[in-house]
Every structure is written in structure tokens, then in C-alpha cells.
Amino acid sequence: MSRAILWKKLNNNEIQCQACNHFCTVIPEERGKCGVRLNNNGEMETLVKDKIAALNLDPIEKKPLFHFMPGTQTLSLGTMGCNLACTFCQNYSLSQPPKEQQEPIGDPISPNQILAAAVEYSASSISYTYSEPTIFIELLLETADLAQKSGLKNIIVSNGFQSPQCMNAMDGYIDAANIDLKAFSEDFYSKYCGARLKPVLQNLVRIRKMGWWLEVTTLLIPGLNDSPEELEQMAGFICNELGEDTPWHISRFHPTFKMTDRPATPVETLERACSAGLGAGLKFVYTGNIPGHMAESTFCPSCKKMIIKRTGFKVREVHMKDGACSFCQEEIPGRWENS
């Protein structure tokens, strides 16, 4: 156990955690909703500061980030626990057990050791991912500080449900983010995720203003968030509030965890969603979890030629020079250094 940040004392040894938008009130010897932040006699402790449950070298395309240093490797890490309770979680074995009062498992790898591993494997960045980086903010900040000083980039892959205090704490360290926009209704967030939509929308706008490179992901679930109206609302929000340059990844759902009562997303539904995104004015809309699909590649919005060819998470061809299309010299939004 290590002392946590982002909390305040209340009366009677109770505390309020201020890491995420749940702002849990935690009574002595209890944990918050994420299951990894504990009230230890009136002081908040984190159970995952030194417990890394997953550590891998990934292509950055796997996050997914398509306009941020393409073709580079990122050292990805995560702990157990999550502040949301998505019934369709694809990483539930990592995210959910601490909610059942199970002790989070993981290896005691220090921020210095993480950085050393990133350097040894020639990673260009470190990604805080797999479960939810908000709930291991202490480990994230310490590692991100070291990484930044060594010239590596820092990336979060997140549900976007941070508190404003947490967003402020990360500002200055994070270079890029992929944030889930799981649906466009409070009902969906409440019923299937145990969360709220509004703070996520506010954080998406905040990230854009803070200047992190931002890409958005939506897992499209048949019958739940794939109606033409909802797709139009999501695409409209991304285009109007975040900007037409914001890449939108629309990903295929596979039945898992508590949501096994519906089929995988039909490819036609994903293609319909892509059309809705492009129709709303977005310049870069991608499909996810359909390896080999054309919409995994980047097309120049001006001359329409393919400028980054991808298969799965692999970059096969790049037709860009100095951040511009090699065919027509149109500038392509993104961070292309080191790629």
C-alpha cells in the first residue's frame, strides 16, 4: 500500500476520493468503487502503486492511435481495477476482480524499471492502458515524469471519466490520448457502465483545449448504441466540439463478460457508422477489430489517395512527407515525429 493523491478528509475519518468523477465517499477500511483505493484509518491509500498486472510492447496502432507516431512501439502497462463497471468489458479479468474485494495482483515494478524497459526495447512512448489509468494515477504520474525527462512520449487510453483535479494533475505530462465515447445517452452510461456521459463529454473538450493529441473510440454494440440517430449525435459532437480533424475509431463488439446475449457487430453496421462520421464532416473515420478492412488505412482528405496503408496493427506503406500527403501535399493533422 502507498499513500494516494487526489483526496480530502471529511468528518468521522471518512474521506472523499477526487481521482475520478464518482468522487466516492469512503468510510474507514472500505474501498472506493474501483476497488483499489482504500480508506486506511482516515488516509487514502492506493493498492496498485507497485502492482503492474500487464506489461507489453505494442504497436502504437493497437491503442488505437493512427495519427500519432505511426509505426512506432509503445510500452503498455496497466494495473487491476477500474472505476467503471461495463457489462461488455473486454478486459474484465483485469478490471473487475478488485470490486469483489479481491486483492489486486501484479508485479512490483518501479517507475525506473518501467523506463529502463522502455529504453531497452526502443519504445518511443509509454501507454497507460488496459484497465483505467485514472485509478493508478500515482504510478502514472511518477512514470510519466521520468519518461518525459528521457524524451519519451506519454499516452493514456481511458474511459474519460476523470475528475477535473485528475485532468489538471496529468496536464503537462500526457502527449496523446485515446478516449472512449461509449454511447451518446446518459441511460447507456448509467445502465451498462455505472457512470455518466456528461463528464466524459466535458473531458473530451478539455483534452482538446489542453492540446494533447486526441483520438476517440466507440465500441459499436448491436441494438444498444448503433441507431442512425445516436451515430449522428456522436459524429456531430466529435466534429463540432472536438474538430473535424479528430480521428474516430469505430470498433467491432464481440460478446463477452456479462453481455453474451447479442451477436458480434455486423460489418455493414460498422460501415454505416463510418458513413455517418464522414457525412457529419469528420475527415478520418476508422474501423477497428476487422483486420484487413479498407477503413483501417488513412486516405488523404484532399486527393483521396491512400497515404498510410495498415493491415491489423501493422503499417504496410506510408506516402507522407513532413506531415503532408506525398501526392498532393495536403497537410495531414497528427504528430508525425519519429515515425
Binding site for ligand SF4 (CB under 6 A): 17, 19-20, 22-24, 32-34, 37, 83, 134-135
Shortest Cβ 17–ligand SF4 spacing (Å): 3
Indicate the residue among 170 and 273 with the shorter CB distance to ligand SF4: 170
Which residue's Cβ has the minimum distance to ligand SF4?
32
Shortest Cβ 138–ligand SF4 spacing (Å): 11
Contact 133, 158 (CB under 8 A): yes
Single-letter amino acid code for the residue at 152: L
Indicate the residue among 4 and 118 with the shorter CB distance to ligand SF4: 4
Indicate the residue among 72 and 143 with the shorter CB distance to ligand SF4: 143
Shortest Cβ 297–ligand SF4 spacing (Å): 37
Shortest Cβ 32–ligand SF4 spacing (Å): 2
Indicate the residue among 22 and 51 with the shorter CB distance to ligand SF4: 22
Contact 17, 7 (CB under 8 A): yes
Indicate the residue among 24 and 235 with the shorter CB distance to ligand SF4: 24
Indicate the residue among 129 and 134 with the shorter CB distance to ligand SF4: 134
Q: Which of 246, 204, 249 is nearest to 333 (CA)?
A: 246
Shortest Cβ 261–ligand SF4 spacing (Å): 27
Shortest Cβ 10–ligand SF4 spacing (Å): 13
